[in-house]
Structure 1
Amino acid sequence: MKLLIVNADDFGLTESINRAIMVAHRDGILTSASLLANGPAFDQAIASSQQFPQLSVGVHLNISEGSPVSPAARIPSLVNGRGELHLSPFHLWVRILTGQISLEDIHSECRAQVLKLLDAGLGPSHLDGHLHVHVLPQLSHILIALAREFCIPYVRCPAEDLGATLPALWKIAGTGIATLERSAIAYGVSSFARRLREQLRMAGLFCPDAFLGLAHTGFLDTKSLSALLALVPNGTTELMCHPGYAMAQVESIDGGRARAREAEVVGLTAPQVKEILASLGIRLSNFRDLEANVC
């Protein structure tokens, strides 16, 4: 059996992204979302999710961008002089390795983000990381501790079969600078994710059997999405996406990716995509539908 969880990242980043996620869920194939506890549109995301109980919602742990949930004074190694999170995953990793980042600060902020969802009345269905920061090797024990403490059975493992997905990407988008950069990032993330998968297994936690959408981040239009669906294997697969609508607010926050996000909304709601799912025998699911218990 082929089960597919279609999960949108960046829920709570802006109201236009929230709206796109709701449209893709209501009218399309989107089944799940990962919520930024420190997102400017967090409250609106909570209110929207309450209208669609079939949408599973997890925590999109963010220690790279925006204002922290914790008071800045409690996590001094993570913030800049303005009290903001500011480190890319690469720079965060380097500072962890060189002892400039406190792992206690990371645990404190990530825990505060999970608690913020719980305080809002939402029990997270899964954990993952903004910009895949959760796959960094030094953070796996923090991730596992949080999943156990809050009884969250599923964690994203973005270990993609790049031997299949990268040729599909290059065929559609070419081999320019943007796609080659995306390919290099995908190799690094997948390498760390394979290690994380084994650690989660040993800890009694779970992740879907396969992952799609890593190489195609920023390139997931209707054509690309249709090609990826043909790669869904037997078992449970998570397909990551980033839907949104092109508005000035999104462009200023999101680094010019709003047009690509809008193309994803079109793909996620396209009738032909639903037809492909049916023809391939793929059944939509979400993290709450999966049977797992870690408490």
Structure 2
Amino acid sequence: MSKKKLIVNADDFGLSPGVTMGILYAHQFGIVTSTTAMVNTIFAKESIQLARSFPELGVGLHLVLDRGEPISSNVPSLIDKQGNFLKGEALLESAEKQDVKEEIIRQLELLLSWYPKVTHLDSHHHVHTRIPAVAEAIEEVAKEYRLPIRTLDGFSIDDILTPSKFIGGFYGEGEVDTASLINILNNVEEEVTELMCHPGFLDNWLIKQSSYQQLRVQELETLINQEVQNTILTNNIECIQYEYFNDL
């Protein structure tokens, strides 16, 4: 059996109908094996209902703390006067661990109520790697719920299982074409690697909500490219999802 194991995780599931359908298409016809769901969007529940038709797709929580409104009704250190999440430096300076943990649990429990086989945790804009209060809280939740977690440096966190390596370079102008992805795949090492991606179809909701738009379509085209899929086979890479860690 190959020692090269690759998780291809599509972030932002549920952000918009086009993003959700693009991720499912990239899973059905491409190399996406895993996704992480945003549960505080108006499309969240319906998106998860669609995911049930794809049992080989791992579904984790894409923790959101800097977009939209919280699920919890009492996390004052995370919100502005209008009740929306703080962003950037404001969130960094204000966030208190107890509020963060409360919101993580509320988002996770909501996802579990829709989809009991949640595979792992990561966060929108990697806030759990940039804000100490979020890092501490999500690590505690990961341990309590026995869930793997994404790290950006490839190192394990205490007893929490993480991939050996994280690749976030498949993102942005000039980085999401076929040649770039093939180069990444040709350099996948042994053990477990996670490749982050953001495929999607363009729709009006996405245009209003995200600055990352047309490149999502290009990511989708690349992830379903036959040459890319052949490279997976040539390099003897086993495509897995985070559920792999449950068997260790």
TM-score, normalised relative to structure 2: 0.92
1:19 & 1:112 partners in 2: Cα distance?
Answer: 25
Change in 2 beyond 3 A, CA 1:259/1:112: same
Change in 2 beyond 3 A, CA 1:215/1:92: farther
1:81 & 1:291 partners in 2: Cα distance?
Answer: 42
Corresponding position of 1:92: 91
Corresponding position of 1:69: 71
Corresponding position of 1:254: 210
Does the 8 A contact of 1:20 with 1:243 survive in 2?
yes
Corresponding position of 2:35: 33
Corresponding position of 1:209: 164
Residues 58-106 of structure 1: CA deviation (Å, up to 9, x unaligned):
11111010121112xx111211222111313x4422x1xxxx3322111
Show structure 2 runs of 5+ residues with no match.
none
1:19 & 1:122 partners in 2: Cα distance?
Answer: 21
Alignment RMSD, CA only?
A: 1.6
Letter matched to residue 84 of structure 1: N
1:156 & 1:271 partners in 2: Cα distance?
Answer: 28
Corresponding position of 1:170: none
Corresponding position of 1:104: 98
Identity of aligned residues (%): 30
Give the CA deviation at 1:221: 2.6
Give the CA deviation at 1:292: 4.6
1:122 & 1:20 partners in 2: Cα distance?
Answer: 23
2:41 & 2:183 partners in 1: Cα distance?
Answer: 32
Corresponding position of 2:244: 289
Residues 205-239 of structure 1: CA deviation (Å, up to 9, x unaligned):
11011111x23322323222112111210111100
Letter matched to residue 289 of structure 1: Y
Give the CA deviation at 1:121: 3.3
Counterparts of 1:190-269 in structure 2, within 5 Å, are 197-198=155-156, 200=157, 202=158, 204-212=159-167, 214-218=168-172, 219-255=175-211, 257-269=212-224
Residue 14 of structure 1 pairs with residue 20 of structure 2: no
Residue 135 of structure 1 pairs with residue 126 of structure 2: no
Give the CA deviation at 1:249: 1.4
Structure with more of its chain in helix, by fraction: 1
Does the 8 A contact of 1:18 with 1:244 survive in 2?
yes
Residue 280 of structure 1 pairs with residue 229 of structure 2: no
SS of aligned partner of 2:187: coil
2:22 & 2:145 partners in 1: Cα distance?
Answer: 29
SS of aligned partner of 2:27: helix
Counterparts of 1:158-177 in structure 2, within 5 Å, are 158-159=152-153
Does the 8 A contact of 2:170 with 2:196 survive in 1?
no
TM-score, normalised relative to structure 1: 0.78
Give the CA deviation at 1:149: 2.0
Corresponding position of 2:62: 60
1:45 & 1:150 partners in 2: Cα distance?
Answer: 23
Q: How many residues of Structure 1 are paired with residues of Structure 2 in the alignment?
A: 243
2:247 & 2:129 partners in 1: Cα distance?
Answer: 21
Does the 8 A contact of 1:125 with 1:287 survive in 2?
yes
Residues 250-276 of structure 1: CA deviation (Å, up to 9, x unaligned):
111112x11000001001100000011
Does the 8 A contact of 2:96 with 2:133 survive in 1?
no
Does the 8 A contact of 1:13 with 1:41 survive in 2?
yes
